[in-house]
Amino acid sequence: MLADAIAAERFRLLRDRTALFWGFVFAPLAGLALSVGGDLFMHRLFHRALPGAPLDLGGKILSAVSGATSPFTALFLLIGAAAILAGDYRWETWRLVTPRNGRGRILLAKLMVFGEALAWSLGLIIICAVLAGLVGAAVNGMTLVAPAAGGAYLGHLAAALIIVWLQLMIFAAVAACVAVVARSPMGAVVAGVLVMVGQSIAASLYRMDPAPSVKALLLPAYASDQMRAFVLAPAGLRPDGQAAALGLLFSLAWLAGLSAVAVTVFRRQDLTRE
């Protein structure tokens, strides 16, 4: 049963405190430390506050969520993905795991558990962004400004979280394919980082074009940009939703296709020595 496989993989991840910390907790805490450290440094350097200056806490949270796709954060998330997806190759425990459930269900369960841990990590990023905003406002004497439309802002935040989650899940699916083929956690991390950086560079070139093309929307980073531009824009200035819809369709196709490739290869793999 898939539910049993998910429960087993969740249990294993919770007991692997090293992978849990470095993969899903360290990057948000590092972002908090850098933000607070920067505020304290600037305050000490200039010996002055900014009394009454506004601090957009909502914008800070959205910026932190979007920053989860940065190479620094994504690197640690890929470390967590490799520990979940390829840890059995490293410890040669596949022979103990596969007799208890179907191979396809086991690999899908690993991807789902990573997706669950990723969601919790994004939630931690939001908490750290709020704390960083509160500390920055206190240090610099700034005034916190809440979003004007609370309900609309929550919708924008939820949409941004889903878009970032989907983009990072695509990289996890890439890591799953490489982990199965290379049978190596390090290979999954390196390949995931290279794919992420390469398609981000390619997407930056397409951003110069005035109109989105189908070729550009095939890149997850560019598709995510188009989706965020659509859902976060004010109602009167919202662009045409065709590019965002195509970007969502292509992103879901990438996730489903890469997951299917990983499962297919894994089902045919010889694990007698793993």
Per-chain mean pLDDT for the chain: 89
Instruction: Tell me the H-state helices in 92-210.
Output: 94-97, 103-140, 150-182, 185-206
What pLDDT was estimated at residue 53?
A: 72
160 pLDDT tier (thresholds 50, 70, 90):
very high
Is residue 6 predicted with pLDDT exceeding 80? yes
* Helix (H), strand (E) at residue 225: helix 220-232
Structural domain boundaries of the chain? 2-190
Q: How confident is the model at residue 238 (pLDDT cuts 50, 70, 90)?
A: confident
Task: Tell me: pLDDT of 149 over 80.
Answer: no
Q: What is the number of alpha carbons within 13 Å of residue 24 lying toward its C-beta?
A: 25
Supply angle C-alpha 258, 221, 123, rounded to 5: 85
Using CA atoms, how far apart are residues 71 and 75, in angstroms rounded to an integer?
A: 6
